[in-house]
Amino acid sequence: MKRRNTGGRFYAPLASGLLALSVGGCGTSGGNATNPASATVGGTPGTASHVTAEPAAWQKWGLTPLLAAPEPPADKPIKLSATGPVPVFAHVPTSQKVVFITVDDGLEKDPKFIEMMRDLKIPITMFLMNDAIKSDYGYFKPLQAMGNHIQNHTLHHPAMNTIPLVRQKQEVCGDQKILTQQFGTAPFLFRPPYGAYNNSTKTAVGECGPRAIVWWRESMQVRNMQYQEPGKKLRPGDIILAHFRGPAELKGATMTEMFANLLKRIREQGFAVARLEDYIQPPAGH
């Protein structure tokens, strides 16, 4: 399903060979999305994404080990600028057979997921929305301490292209301030709720601190992924969207079950999982 926009509704341009589209954007139970584009990111200091878990850790979660991620390139394929237009990207240009997992919102706070991430050492990027996380900011700090970056996803999860610039700035700047205060580092990336954005969104993001808008090419549901493009397969550098969700949103499945299914789908296609921020050069001064 494609939607176009000339003044602030959902739209789906082609950019850098990417198809726009999608189902499975952010929301409490799923939601629609709209748009990819070109390149960039940054975040929190983290450990190397090529660190691997012991075989026993995978067995504990009923999984077969994924391929180990390669060393990230010294010359980062995505380079952020401190000034100028804010780019949009849905994948990382790389020939390495790696994909990147992003997890949105923050509504579900399952302690077992922290245990799983500690055991498996799978890098994720968290796009957190204040309304979802304010009941327990501390839940996300162990995940951050593992090297997982925390990025901006608005205060209240509106469809950004339906609200004026002044409100868009409130959403982005407000979340930026709280995340920086709570987690000690300023987000470099922004993901618009439902994938919806317009030129005012780019202006708001640029004025509030993040230096890129991040889209995705696949979204994880409960057992399988939905694909943005007709080939229905992963490609090197793809960004995958998942959510902090529990049984109420996952048809009775737990978050760890959903995430295990995601890792199975990635392994079936022969990919490793790398850290998104390891492939991005932040702007000077950050």
Is the pLDDT at 200 greater than 80? The verdict is: yes
More confident residue, 232 or 5: 232
Identity at 205, one-letter amino acid code: V
Distances (CA, A) of 19 to 66, 96, 198, 217: 28, 21, 17, 9
> Percentage of the chain with pLDDT > 70?
81
Question: Is residue 175 classed as helix, strand or coil in its secondary structure?
Answer: helix
Residue 283 binned pLDDT confidence (cut-offs 50, 70, 90): confident
Does pLDDT of 92 surpass 80?
Answer: yes
- From the centroid of its chain, how far is CA 118? 19
From first CA to last CA, the distance across the chain in angstroms is: 38
- Quick one: pLDDT at residue 129? 98
Give mean pLDDT, residues 60-75: 96
